[in-house]
Each structure stands twice: as structure tokens, then as C-alpha cells.
């Protein structure tokens, strides 16, 4: 009887162990199996398509502000591009009437060199600050530090070092801004001196769900890659 009881207990213990092992296998398998993901859909875009003629893009950007339907008069995300790089003060003056400026794109053009385009997300002015110039200046300082600390090597590192030196020296560097305003305000910005284009998305476009390809000051005929055969000047 004693032996039979011992054997029954061993079988019961073994059965529980098997159940536990099977449960662990199921759990581990579930953890290792990736659930289906809904890919982020970038159905909207600001800026020219690769290779698009500049004249065609400028017309397309102007057309984005031409509608006066009720749905298009509310706040919209838009890309403002410049005829030439701006200083922080110039960018602040051109966008003074905008309720929101969210992203800055910076570049210090150099003939024959594909200089990097760097971005910074912008905060709103702090309490007591007059206008956005201090915000833009801080963003450019962060861009200079990021360029100086790049992990790139060779020619790319030289171009980043040159960017950092120029931005720290106060060279104009703002080439584009992502902004948000109603259509009438965006039209006013498009008429500002030095503004090359204002390209607006539909009112239902969602932040973080649209692509951005700024029109660069050097792109005069088409949105093609910049030439990159000239020596990079010393920083």
C-alpha cells in the first residue's frame, strides 16, 4: 500500500510538471510571436517630389492655399521655405503672425558641396520672451552642437563640422519651417519678403503622419540631389 501511494504521488507530481512545462512553452511561443502591426501610413507630404521641376512645385504649393472652402479655412500644417537662408531674427520676423511654429530646418549652403540639412523641433516662447527669435536661436545652437558631435566620418564629417562652425558664427541657416495656421494667415506669410513657398496640407492632416522634403535654396530647376564634387572648406 505504501509503495502504491508513493507511486500515485509521483505520477501526480509528474503530471503537474508536464502541465507546467507545456504552459511555459505556450507562453514563450506567444511572446516570441510578433503580433501583426499596422504600418504607419504617410499619405500626406510637404515639399517637392524627388526630381519634380521647381516651377511645378511652386505652383502646386500656391494652389494649396487657393481654396476657400469652409473645411480648408481652419488651422493647417504647412511648410514654409526660404529664398535664401535666414538668421533666427529674420525667421522670427517672417513668422511673427503664426500661432505655431513646430520644426526648423537648417543648412549652410556651399557651392559644389551637398551640405547636410538638420532639423530641430521647436518649443513655444518661454514666459517673458518677446517673439520667437530666442526659441529659434536656441534651436540653432542645438543644431550646431549636434553637427559638431556627428558620428559621421570622412567628407560627411567635414560638412557637419563646417555647418557647426558657421552656425555658431551666426551665419544664416534657417531654410524651412513647419508651421500651423489658418489659410488666410498662411497666405500672409507667403507674401512675406524672402519666402519662397508655403505648401499647406489638408486640414485633417495629423502631426507625425506626413513626410517632409524641404525645397533647398540651391534647387532652382528641379528637386534633384545637390552636386557634391567640390572640396569641403576647412571648418
Q: Are 106 and 142 in contact (CB under 8 A)?
A: no
Lowest mean pLDDT among 112-116, 182-186, 220-224: 182-186
pLDDT, position 38 = 41
For helices 133-148 and 154-168, the axis angle rounded to 10 degrees is: 150
pLDDT number for residue 69: 63
C-alpha cell of residue 8: 500515485
Cα(155)–Cα(230) distance, rounded to whole angstroms? 11
- Specify the DSSP class assigned to residue 47: S
Predicted pLDDT of residue 81? 98
Q: Residue 224's pLDDT is what?
A: 98
For 82-93, the pLDDT digits (tens) are: 999 999 999 999
Q: CB of 214 within 8 A of CB of 52? A: no
What confidence score (pLDDT) does residue 42 get? 55
User: Which is nearest to 95 in space by CA: 111, 106, 79?
Assistant: 79
Grade residue 22 by pLDDT with cuts at 50, 70 and 90: very low
- Rounded-to-integer distance, Cα 104 and Cα 121, Å: 6
Q: Is the pLDDT of residue 2 over 60?
A: no
Question: Which pLDDT value is given to residue 126?
Answer: 84
DSSP secondary structure of 121-188: E-PPPPTT--SSHHHHHHHHHHHHHHHHT----HHHHHHHHHHHHHHHTT---EEEEEEEE-HHHHHH
Backbone angles phi, psi at 58, to 5 degrees: -60, -40
The pLDDT score that the predictor gives to residue 31 is 38
Residue 233 confidence (pLDDT) above 60: yes
What does the pLDDT read at residue 127?
81
Query: What confidence score (pLDDT) does residue 49 get?
Result: 97
Per 3-state DSSP, the chain is made up of helix, strand and coil in percentages (nearest 5) of 40, 20, 40
Contacts of residue 151, defined as CB under 8 A and 6 or more positions apart, other chains included, come to none
Q: What is the pLDDT of residues 115-174, one digit of tens each?
A: 999 999 999 888 888 889 999 999 999 999 999 999 999 999 999 999 999 999 999 999
Per-residue confidence (pLDDT) for residue 97, from 0 to 100:
87
- pLDDT for res 67: 73
* pLDDT at position 27 over 50: no
User: Above pLDDT 90, what percent of the chain?
Assistant: 73
**Residue 8 pLDDT class (50, 70, 90 cuts):** low
Overall pTM > 0.85: no
Q: Would the pLDDT of 21 be above 50? A: no
Position 19 pLDDT exceeds 80: no
Amino acid at each position: 500500500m505504501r509503495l502504491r501511494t508513493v507511486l500515485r504521488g509521483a505520477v501526480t507530481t509528474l503530471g503537474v510538471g508536464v502541465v507546467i512545462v507545456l504552459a511555459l512553452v505556450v507562453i514563450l511561443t506567444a511572446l516570441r510571436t510578433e503580433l501583426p502591426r499596422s504600418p504607419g501610413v504617410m499619405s500626406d507630404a510637404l515639399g517637392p517630389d524627388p526630381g519634380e521641376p521647381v516651377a511645378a512645385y511652386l505652383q502646386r504649393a500656391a494652389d494649396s492655399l487657393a481654396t476657400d472652402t469652409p473645411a480648408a479655412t481652419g488651422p493647417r500644417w504647412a511648410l514654409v521655405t526660404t529664398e535664401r537662408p535666414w538668421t533666427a531674427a529674420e525667421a522670427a520676423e517672417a513668422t511673427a503672425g503664426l500661432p505655431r511654429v513646430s520644426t526648423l530646418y537648417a543648412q549652410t549652403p556651399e557651392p559644389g558641396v551637398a551640405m547636410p540639412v538638420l532639423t530641430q523641433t521647436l518649443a513655444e516662447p518661454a514666459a517673458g520672451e518677446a517673439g520667437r527669435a530666442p526659441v529659434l536661436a536656441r534651436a540653432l545652437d542645438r543644431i550646431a552642437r549636434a553637427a559638431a558631435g556627428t558620428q559621421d566620418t570622412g567628407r560627411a564629417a567635414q560638412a557637419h563640422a563646417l555647418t557647426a562652425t558657421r552656425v555658431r558664427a551666426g551665419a544664416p541657416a534657417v531654410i524651412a519651417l513647419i508651421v500651423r495656421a489658418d489659410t488666410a494667415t498662411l497666405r500672409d506669410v507667403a507674401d512675406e519678403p524672402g519666402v519662397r513657398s508655403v505648401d499647406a496640407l489638408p486640414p485633417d492632416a495629423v502631426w507625425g503622419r506626413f513626410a517632409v522634403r524641404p525645397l533647398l535654396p540651391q534647387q532652382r530647376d528641379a528637386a534633384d540631389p545637390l552636386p557634391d564634387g567640390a572640396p569641403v572648406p576647412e571648418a
